[in-house]
Structure 1
Amino acid sequence: MELCINMEHIEKLLQTYKGKKVILAFSGGVDSLILAILLSRVAKVKCVFIKTPYIHKYKEEDAKALAKKFNLDLEILYVDKIVENSKLRCYHCKKMFFSILNKMKEELSYDLVVDGTHYDDLFEDRPGLKALEELNISSPFAEFKVRKGDILKLAKDLNINIPKETCLLTRFDRDVDEKELRKVEALEEFLRKFLKGSIRLRDRGDKAILEIEDIKNFEHNREVILSELRKYYDDILVIKK
Structure 2
Amino acid sequence: MNLVEYLTSLGNIAIALSGGVDSSYLAYMAKQSGIPCKAYTVKSQFVPQFELDDAKKISEFIGIPLEIIAIDVLKHDDVTSNPSDRCYHCKHHVFTTISEHAKRDGFTILCDGTNASDDVDDRPGMKAIAELSVKSPLRECNLTKSMIRDLALKADLFTWDKPSYACLATRFQAGQHITGLDLEHIEKAEGYLFSLGLSDFRVRLIGNNVKIQVPEKQIAIVIKNRIEILTYFKSMFDEVVLDLEVRS
TM-score when scaled to structure 1?
Answer: 0.88
Contact 2:31 2:37 in 1 (8 A): yes
Q: Which residue of 2 aligns with 1:10?
A: 3
Deviations 1:174-209 (A, max 9, x none): 121111111111121122221321231111124210
CA-to-aligned-CA distance 1:52-86 (integer Å, 9 cap, x gap): 11111221111111111222211101012222422
Task: Indicate the residue corresponding to 2:225 in structure 1.
Answer: 221
* TM-score (norm. length: structure 2): 0.86
- Aligned equivalents of 2:132 and 2:147: distance in 1? 27
Alpha-carbon distance in structure 2 between the residues aligned to 1:139 and 1:206: 37
5+ long unaligned stretches in structure 2: none
User: Deviation at 1:122?
Assistant: 4.9
Counterparts of 1:79 and 1:184 in 2: how far apart (Å)?
Answer: 19
Closer, same or farther in 2 for the Cα pair 1:103/1:15, shift >3 Å? closer
Aligned runs of 1:57-96 on 2, under 5 Å?
A: 57-82=49-74, 83-84=79-80, 85-96=82-93
How many residues are treated as equivalent by the alignment? Answer: 232
Matched residue SS, 1:66: helix
The answer to whether structure 1 residue 156 and structure 2 residue 149 are counterparts is no
Q: Please tell me the residue identity of whatever aligns with 2:22.
A: D
How far does the alpha carbon of each residue in 1:215-237 deviate from its partner, in whole angstroms, 9 at most, with x for none? 23222211111222233334322
CA drift of 1:15 comes to: 4.0
State the Cα deviation string for residues 8-58 of structure 1 (Å, max 9, x = none). Answer: 6334324423xx221110101111001110111121111000111111122
State the SS of the aligned residue for 1:55.
coil
Note the 1:177-188 alignment, pairs <5 A: 177-188=179-190
Structure 2 match to 1:191: 193
Q: Is the 8 A contact 1:28 1:59 kept in 2?
A: yes
Which residue in 1 is equivalent to 2:26?
35
- The residue number in structure 1 matching 2:169 is 169
Identical residues among aligned pairs (%): 28
Match of 1:4 in 2: none
> Alpha carbon RMSD of aligned pairs, Å?
1.9
What is the alpha-carbon distance in structure 2 between the residues aligned to residue 10 and residue 24 of structure 1?
A: 14
CA positional deviation for 1:116: 0.9
Q: 2:186 aligns to what SS in structure 1?
A: helix
**C-alpha deviation, 1:143, in angstroms:** 1.9
Q: Contact (CA 8 Å) 1:91, 1:131: kept in 2 or not?
A: yes
Give CA-to-partner distance per residue, 1:136-174, whole Å, 9 cap, x none.
111112222222232122123234221111111111121
The farther-off stretch of 155-164 and 61-70 is 155-164
Partners of 1:35 and 1:151 in 2: how far apart?
A: 9
Cα distance in 2, alignment partners of residues 230 and 101 from structure 1: 38
Q: Which one-letter code corresponds to 1:99 in the other structure?
A: T
**1:105-136 deviation per Cα after TM superposition (whole angstroms, max 9, x unaligned):** 33222231111112232554111111122111
Q: Secondary structure at the match of 2:95?
A: helix
2:144 corresponds to which of 113, 133, 147: 147
User: Gapped runs of 5+ residues in structure 1?
Assistant: 1-7
